[in-house]
Amino acid sequence: MGFLNDIEPLKQTALTELKAAPDLATLEQTKGAWIGPNGKFTALMKQLGTLSKEEKPAAGKLINAAKVELETALASRREELELKAALPKEPTDFTLPGRRRALGKLHPLTQVTDDIVRAFRKIGFAVADGPEIEDEYHCFDALNTPADHPARDSQDTFYLNPQTPDARPYLLRTHTSSVQIRVMEKQPPPIRIIVPGRVYRRDNADATHNPTFHQIEGLYVDKNVTVGDLKGTVEFVFKELMGDDVKIRFRPHYFSYTEPSYEIDFTNALVKKMGKDWLEIAGCGMVHPQVFETVGYDPEVWTGWAFGFGIERIAMLRYGINDIRLFYENDVRFLKQF
Ligand code: DAH
Give dist(CA 68, CA 194) in Å, integer: 79
Mean pLDDT confidence for 84-99:
85
Instruction: Return the closest-CA partner of residue 245 out of 221, 206, 272, 205.
Output: 272
Q: How confident is the model at residue 131 (pLDDT cuts 50, 70, 90)?
A: very high
CATH architecture of 108-335: 2-Layer Sandwich (3.30)
Predicted local confidence at residue 48, as pLDDT:
82
Give dist(CA 302, CA 174) in Å, integer: 27
Average pLDDT of the chain, as a whole number: 92
Give dist(CA 313, CA 317) in Å, integer: 6
Q: How far is the CA of 255 from the centre of ligand 1 (A)?
A: 7
Predicted local confidence at residue 2, as pLDDT:
67
Q: Check the CA dihedral 99-104-109-112 and report its sign.
A: negative
What does the pLDDT look like over 214-262, one tens digit per residue?
999 999 999 999 999 999 999 999 999 999 999 999 999 999 999 999 9
Predicted local confidence at residue 334, as pLDDT:
95
| 189 within 8 A of 297, measured Cβ to Cβ | yes
Give me the percent of the chain exceeding a pLDDT of 70. Answer: 99
Predicted local confidence at residue 91, as pLDDT:
82
Q: What is the torsion angle, in degrees rounded to the nearest 10, for the CA atoms of residue 180, residue 183, residue 184 and residue 189?
A: -110
Predicted local confidence at residue 328, as pLDDT:
96
Q: How far is the CA of 18 from the centre of ligand 1 (A)?
A: 85
Give dist(CA 131, CA 167) in Å, integer: 19
Q: How far is the CA of 215 from the centre of ligand 1 (A)?
A: 9
Q: How far is the CA of 320 from the centre of ligand 1 (A)?
A: 25
pLDDT higher than 90, residue 74: yes
What does the pLDDT look like over 138-188, one tens digit per residue?
999 999 998 888 888 877 899 997 767 777 789 999 999 999 999 999 999
Predicted local confidence at residue 222, as pLDDT:
98
Cβ < 6 Å from ligand 1: which residues?
A: 175, 177, 217, 255, 257-258, 283-285, 306-308
Give dist(CA 5, CA 39) in Å, integer: 18
What does the pLDDT look like over 80-89, one tens digit per residue?
999 988 888 8
Distances (CA, A) of 232 to 126, 247, 249, 258: 18, 11, 11, 18
Tell which atom from ligand 1 comes closest to the C-alpha of 180: 12
Across the chain, where does the E strand assignment appear?
A: 126-127, 133-135, 170-172, 191-200, 212-222, 247-255, 258-267, 279-287, 303-310
CA 180-181-185 angle, 5° bins = 120
Tell which atom from ligand 1 comes closest to the C-alpha of 217: 12
Tell which atom from ligand 1 comes closest to the C-alpha of 308: 8
Tell which atom from ligand 1 comes closest to the C-alpha of 309: 5
Predicted local confidence at residue 155, as pLDDT:
78
Ligand 1 pocket test, candidate residues 173, 183, 307, most atoms within 8 A of CB: 307
